[in-house]
A and B are shown apart, each in its own frame.
Chain A
Amino acid sequence: MSNAMHNKTLTELKAGLAAGDFSSRELTEHFLARIQQHDSELNSFITVTAEQALSQADAADQAIAAGNTGLLTGLPIAHKDIFCTEGVRTSCGSKMLDSFIAPYTATVVEKMAAEGAVMLGKTNMDEFAMGSSNETSYYGPVKNPWDLERVPGGSSGGAAACLGARLAPGATGTDTGGSIRQPAALNNITGLKPTYGRVSRWGMIAFASSLDQAGPMAQSSEDCALMLQAMAGHDHRDSTSLNEKVDDYLGALNNDIRGLTIGIPEEFFPDTLDGAIADNSRDAIRELEKLGAKVVSVSLPSVKLSVPAYYVIAPAEASSNLSRFDGVRFGHRCDDPKDLEDLYKRSRSEGFGDEVKRRILVGAYALSAGYYDAYYRRAQQVRRLIRDDFARAFEKVDVLMGPTAPETAFKLGAKKDDPVSMYMADVFTIGVNLAGLPALSMPTGFINGLPTGTQIIGNYFREGQILNVAHKYQQATDWHKQAPVFGGEQ
């Protein structure tokens, strides 16, 4: 039975713990053993916190015995290494923070721990979340469990890969331009980026503050609902976290979707799109039609400018956010700085990788005197046009759907020398971040043995509805239950 534990969803594991089928310690040991056994191939974890996990598991078992359980009591979770965890290295995938033992814990981690979650470790990611392939990590690329020669997507690539390979049943991710949804699609898992402001950013190392949002990644929509229930909520430490009531996501999962209106943005099915990718998403939409949803065509004309707008706004914010990594108070400091300028320049140049440096330069350039209006200001104006497009669409529809990513997982190194082509990996996901909307990616079939995903975008704070639609789909299909043949076992 224990062999099958890793194929169970969080919801099933929660039931198993409640029924006494296994203890949290057994469960935790099982996943730690799987990580030990398989992660050398995948490289999905930067740090495994086995000792801490077992002690949390023991505490969870006592809580279960005492009948004093939270939403996630005893369930093993992997946290993206972007969340500060007190006493545990928090690297953000960067050499800059290779020695950074966080002096405090992120709100997301704290809230999940308060609900009884067991932290397995910290997952690999693109450096400072800047990337769509997990190849920019200082700790080396993560491999896609469906094909070890391919990328897992990014930036939450470690989270998606460890879930896909069933090395963890649930993981946190962050999504600035698609960093939860794109890797979710490429690893056949489910991932949700909530509404901007739904989940606290306190303790989550900032990439682009007005776009970053943490969310759940798991095998199913139901599991994402369970995790989001624990993660969401107002935090007085984050000015941008909204003081809106947290919905009952679990309670809404089984709502009837008859009469639901699904909008299909024509821009998400351009002529240039791989036909097989388009077909998988269209099939998923047809499945929902069978369940009673209506489908209408909509247009989001400005969304085609999301990638250029994003690649001004995100680097601009990042260039400023990453200024604090200066070698003075924490993080990497170069050897024997000869003066202050030398300290800054060498520490930063040694500590940051190429992609991070490129984005800092683009951002600093876009904000510099003489270019602000042409780049930054204009990008912020286009951002409003994009948001207005979505707002108009949501006057007519409940959710929008389309492919999550324009292609399946590509070969490691394929786009290494072509940043612009890499940026196009997020062409369907970025608009949602610019507008601040919630969106989920769910598995909707394969192309040549590689997973594809379909995105469901909802209106502000309608996470419950998105999860409901995805759950209905997942009850009717079994794409999300497919796991890779990995390490010689199923």
Chain B
Amino acid sequence: MTVMQHIWIVLGVLFVFLNIAAGLIWVERRLLALWQDRLGPNRAGPLGLFIVLADTLKLFFKEDWIPPFADKWVFILAPAIVVASVLMGLAIIPFAPGIVVADLNVGLMFFLAMSSLGVYSIVLGGWASNNKYSLLGALRGASQMIAYEVFMGLSLMGVVMLSKSFNLGDIVAAQKDMWFIVTQPVGFVIFFIAGLAETHRLPFDIPEAESELIAGFHSEYSGMKFGMFFIGEYLGISLISAMTVTLFFGGWLGPAFLPPVVWFFLKTFFFIGIFILMRASLPRPRYDQLMGYGWKLLLPLVLLNLLVTGAIALWLKS
């Protein structure tokens, strides 16, 4: 692969995913509306698609205010971290054979590391805002991330055992005969729940929890800084959906009548839809319920899953 090709791939991935993140504003509002027996934004442009432009313009023209009591530089830095870390996470996803930004042999570990780094934006944003609701949100965000990061990693180890690689390309290739959703259903469910918590989407939007904490860690943010948190959240949804597809649903594998990239994005959009459906239907658990659920139920379950997977893998080998 030449350098030029590589640059095109990098630019292409950036372009596609930033556009998906922006487009999700429209997708989410339309889908939520349809599920609530409404129509949603359908006026600006075809099918209301220009609502994305309108929303972006609105965010750009809003007053970009830094509260005088805030820690200025950290306050500015925090929203950038979430977008940067999620975009880094997207680097290791194979979209089709040969189309991957960084074909790392520790790709999965890199993804876990990057998704954990995202918590810094919550913690720093909440801390720098110097506001009690923001701090509470940041606190919750940190503990939620720590709890769910643990078994997010562990839930993927079953996949790693079966495919014997951390490289995502190899993991996809290992699903040629059978997707890992069949062999690792528990791993999938736990990974998806952890992914929800990781992107702090509803029902696990405990750090934001607008009914309790105003807007949690981004209470003090306005304008495009808030927009960055927003984009970061949508990028996070895309990343988790893309990872779910790569790890459990065969990535770009699919019947030959459609090109691999199309299969990949079809599956990814299905999971983005599930994310939005969960937001539309499920209530937010209490903070202590979330933590208890994580540590007392999901962690033992994921360890058990790991144990059983390992045993079966060894038994098959012998």
Q: Do A and B come from one complex?
A: no
